[in-house]
Amino acid sequence: MTGRTDVAPAIKFCGLTRVEDARHAERAGAAYLGVILASGPRLLDPERAALVLGPRRQEVQRVAVFGDQTVEEIVRVVRALDLDVAQLHGEPSVRDVEHILAGTGRAVWPVLRVEGSVLPKEARVLAAVAGNLVLDAKVVGQLGGTGVPLDWSGLQAAIAELRRDIPTVRLVLAGGLRPANVAIAMRLLAPDVVDVSSGVEASPGVKDPVAVERFVKAVHDPTGNAA
């Protein structure tokens, strides 16, 4: 069942740029390790991304975030890196999702950048086709990693309606999550995955190991004090 409040969501640490940070995140309890192949200060090339993520393995899922690449390029990179998940920023279409699913056989996470308390009109069809949906804050000129949270309380009704319409969707919540606020986001929206990047960093692309561990603790013990 998706969106259960009695089960801790899986954790994705994104924007990884260093092998040591990826290894620590995995040891700390990450279910997903993410790298950026789109744009911004955490941008990696595919060769560096392969080094940071390491080989495909059962213990953790490996995710790359794409931006304005063509679907053909995304398919090529997913195959070359043997990724588990392709996360699509840059306003992906249903056709893009279908093409990448067919071309890779791997999971696709389309991203919706949300402003206010209304989901974009394409939320349902993308959720139905992909089976997954990432919600991130809309910040003009940036694809993600902004540290800006969504209006979690305001989105409750829209998310509940989406889950009624697409009960199998896995909701990935990104945008401004930190050790001090992730429990609130979990309580309000009950995501299946929480996706954190800047909220556990010492500087862009460099994870703070203490913040990483505090985030994991906050997710698994939401009644504790992670501030």
Answer for the pair 84, 55: CB distance below 8 angstroms, yes or no: no
Number of domains into which the chain is organized = 1
Residue 126 has pLDDT above 90, yes or no: yes
Task: Look at phi and psi of residue 145 and say left if phi exceeds 0, alpha if psi is from -120 to 50, else beta.
Answer: left
Compute the average pLDDT of residues 171-192.
97
> 77 in a domain, yes or no?
yes
Residue 222: the pLDDT is 80
> 74 in a domain, yes or no?
yes
> 226 in a domain, yes or no?
no
Residue 43 has pLDDT above 70, yes or no: yes
Residue 165 has pLDDT above 60, yes or no: yes
Residue 141 has pLDDT above 70, yes or no: no
> 4 in a domain, yes or no?
no
Q: Is the dihedral of CA 137, 138, 142, 147 positive or negative?
A: negative
> 115 in a domain, yes or no?
yes
Q: pTM higher than 0.95 for the full model?
A: no
| Exposure letters 57-67 (e unless 16+ CB within 10 A, then b) | eeebbbbbbbb
Residue 112: the pLDDT is 94
Using pLDDT thresholds of 50, 70 and 90, give the confidence band for residue 138.
Answer: confident
Residue 84: the pLDDT is 98
Residue 15 has pLDDT above 70, yes or no: yes
For residue 193, what are the domain limits?
10-220
Compute the average pLDDT of residues 204-208.
96
Residue 1: the pLDDT is 40
Domain with 150 in it: what CATH number? 3.20.20.70
- Digit-coded pLDDT (tens) for 61-91: 999 999 999 999 999 999 999 999 999 998 8
